[in-house]
Copies of this chain bind each other. A is one copy, B any other.
Amino acid sequence: MQGRKPMKFSEIVQQLGALAQQSSLDTVPDIDPDIDGVQAIATATPGTLSYIDGAKFAPQVQTTGASALILPRNQDLQTAATARGLAWVETVEPRLCFAQAIALFYQPFQPAPEIHPTAVVHPTAQLGEHVYVGPHVVIQANTVIGNQVCIHPNVVLYPGVRVGDRTVLHANCTVHERTQIGADCVIHSGTVLGAEGFGFVPTPQGWYKMQQSGFVVLEDGVEVGCNGAIDRPAVGETRIGRQTKLDNMVHIGHGCQIGFGCAFAAQVGLAGGVEVGDRVILAGQVGVANEAKIGPGAIASSKTGVHGSIPPGQVVSGYPGVDHKIYLKSSAIYSRLPEMHQTLRQLQKRVAELEQQSSQA
């Protein structure tokens, strides 16, 4: 899968140098294997580089098939690796270092610039330099596409869309009217940006449709996973802050304001008008109710239901979401409810007997 030529381990260490602290090259200089790829620790084969991050994976230094390892600062692990004849480099952040190593061996598919002849591009659209517009892409009126943008096949841009430099739109995405996508964003396949928010007013005759005259803004460096949806509001904007990353099938309702550097896992859903501060993490399947406010640095565990406000930095869990420590205790007791219930009934009986004895005394 990884097409590059092999590299000497010493060369890799040099290229990862900014972070690497120490390596087997310093202590056992003849351990310098050829490395032709990166692999997971459990399934690594000779000639590959892998990594160990955290105590859970430590025992695998004894069994891995990898020829070289990125290790945390841990003398025992280093000694064990050396004893097995494995090359290693030490770092305070093995996972980050491994991510950098992957990038030495693998670059994602990026088509060469071209406007495919089957694409339908409106004459008023402005395209930057070195742009790829794949087969069957549709670019409608008054769109503005930056430089080095990559628009994969079958993407549809409605009128008035703006796409910043180096942004990638994967196949079968749809970007609705007036959406503004920043630079260095990645929109994964099947995602829909800027469609109409869910705005209906109840009347005796049925639902009256509130037109959604607003638009969606994605700041620079935003990623949106597959088959997601970010809706535009009736008035104003829905905004996703710089460097925020959304996993697959995330729904962002109309008028939400999301801060910098957040990460929302798959199947998270935000109702309308939610405000989310910087660096908030929402785990999988979290749901956030209308107009909720989530402070910077807050974290919600998977499946949490968020209502009202969450203070900065708080960790919440459960449905409805409560402080994570309370949740842990309460959920542990949940499965003992039948026992508690029985104990309570027995106590009622015993107290009744005591009361009877007391009254007879």
Contact = CB atoms under 8 A, between A and B. Distances in A.
A235 B341 CA distance: 47
Given A102-B213, A335-B322, A108 B285 contact: no
A349 to B, nearest CB: 10
Nearest to A117: B120
A174 B172 contact: yes
Given A109-B177, A227-B227, A344-B343, A249 B247 contact: no
A80 interface: no
Given A120-B118, A177-B109, A331 B320 contact: yes
Interface of A: 1-2, 38-40, 43, 93, 95-96, 98-100, 102-103, 105-109, 116, 118, 120, 134-136, 138, 152-154, 156, 158-159, 170-174, 176-178, 186, 188-192, 195-196, 198-201, 203, 206-215, 221, 223, 225-229, 231, 233-236, 242-243, 245, 247-249, 251, 253, 255, 260-261, 263, 265-267, 269, 271, 284-285, 287, 289, 302-303, 305, 318-320, 322-323, 326-327, 329-331, 333-338, 340-341, 343-344, 347-348, 350-351, 354-355, 357-358, 361
A139 to B, nearest CB: 10
Q: 10 tightest CB-CB pairs across the interface, nearest first?
A: A106-B213, A99-B210, A156-B171, A174-B189, A329-B338, A206-B243, A226-B229, A138-B153, A192-B226, A198-B247
A44 to B, nearest CB: 8
A189 B195 contact: yes
A227 B267 contact: no
Say how many copies of this protein the assembly contains.
3
Contacts of A203: 96
A109 B95 CA distance: 47
Contacts of A190: 172, 174, 190-192, 227, 229
A213 B154 contact: no
B213 A227 contact: no
12 contacts: A43-B236, A108-B196, A109-B159, A118-B136, A170-B195, A190-B191, A206-B242, A227-B249, A247-B251, A327-B335, A330-B335, A344-B344
A260 B207 CA distance: 10
A154 B285 CA distance: 30
Contacts of A227: 190, 192, 227-229, 249
A39 B192 contact: no
Contacts of A171: 138, 156, 158, 174
Contacts of A343: 344, 348
Given A190-B227, A206-B243, A267-B269, A135 B109 contact: no
Contact of A243 (B1, B207, B305, B344): B207
Contacts of A39: 235-236
Contacts of A93: 201
A298 to B, nearest CB: 15
A235 B266 contact: no
A226 B176 CA distance: 11
